[in-house]
Amino acid sequence: MASTVRKSFDIALDIASSIGNRAFTVVEGDTGNLLRISLTDGGEPVDLSGCRVIAVFSKSNGTAAQDSALAQGGILLRGALNNEVHIQLFPGSFAPGMVECELQIYSDASLSTLITTAKFNFTCRPAMLSADALVSTQELPMLRTLMDQVETLRQEALLVTTQAQEAAAACENLITDKVTTFSVRRYAEVAQEPEEGGES
């Protein structure tokens, strides 16, 4: 069984102020992107034990969210200091263009206290392979040969058609030029005619 291959992106995120992160790009449709976010407050790790974290993504075709409270939400809280948010980035959370993300953190016993972190962003590019892409095969030379043969047959058929039309026209002209007119006489008319040299 093959192991799972993922792209991992490490992001430093402060609750109040933006921190410069290395720019990164994901590819539209990919399912193996993992965001590892280290959350701090003024440089100090933020303990996320028992918290609910929602990642909100603003993208070119709308807004999406992933929720740690959902079993299939794609968010896990990790780290030795309990300040890491691991997001398995769902394909619906990003689209070609610039994507902005912020975290909403719900804390206290009733999970009613909300803070929203500073934003970070990343880029998404379209995948080169799409439904419109052609699959490359070894049969291309064979296909070209067959196409050439079809074109040759088409030219030959056109030539034969032209020759047949010319032959038909020649036959028609020949028949028109050589038509002989015959007089058809009835036997009774012939019998009544006097014989040559006979009595008049």
Domain identity same for 95 and 46 = yes
Residues forming a β-bridge with 87: 35, 75
Q: Is residue 131 part of a domain?
A: no
The percent of residues above 70 in pLDDT, for the chain, comes to 83
Q: Which CATH number is 79's domain given?
A: 2.60.40.3350
Question: What is the Cα–Cα distance from 46 to 115, expressed in whole angstroms?
Answer: 12
Do 111 and 12 share a structural domain? yes
Specify whether 63 is located in the same domain as 162: no
pLDDT digits (tens, 9 = 90+) for 62-82: 999 999 999 999 999 999 999
pLDDT, averaged across the chain? 87
> Concatenated DSSP letters for 30-46?
---EEEEEEEEETTEEP
Question: Does the structure show a pLDDT above 70 at 5?
Answer: yes
Expressed as residue numbers, the domain containing 187 is 140-192
pLDDT at 78: 94
Q: What is the pLDDT of residues 109-144, one digit of tens each?
A: 999 999 999 999 999 999 988 766 666 667 667 778
Tokens in use for 25? Answer: 């790009």
Closest C-alpha to 35, from 126, 92, 120, 127: 120
Residues 104 and 79 in one domain: yes
* Res. 173 pLDDT band, cuts 50 70 90: confident
Nearest CA to 100 out of 126, 119, 113 is that of 119
Task: Check residue 74 and give left, alpha or beta (phi > 0: left; psi -120 to 50: alpha).
Answer: left
Q: What whole-number percentage of the chain has pLDDT above 90?
A: 62
Of 98, 125, 152, the domain-final residue: 125
Contact between residue 69 and residue 52 where contact means Cβ atoms under 8 Å apart: yes
Look at residue 48 and tell me if it is in a domain: yes
Q: Are residues 168 and 113 in the same domain?
A: no
Is there a domain that residue 11 lies in?
yes
Average the pLDDT over each of 44-53, 90-99, 136-145, 176-185 and give the range with the smallest value: 176-185
List Cα–Cα distances, 130 to 79, 104, 164, 186, in angstroms: 37, 34, 50, 87
Confidence of residue 182 (pLDDT cuts 50, 70, 90): low
The answer to whether residue 90 is domain-embedded is yes
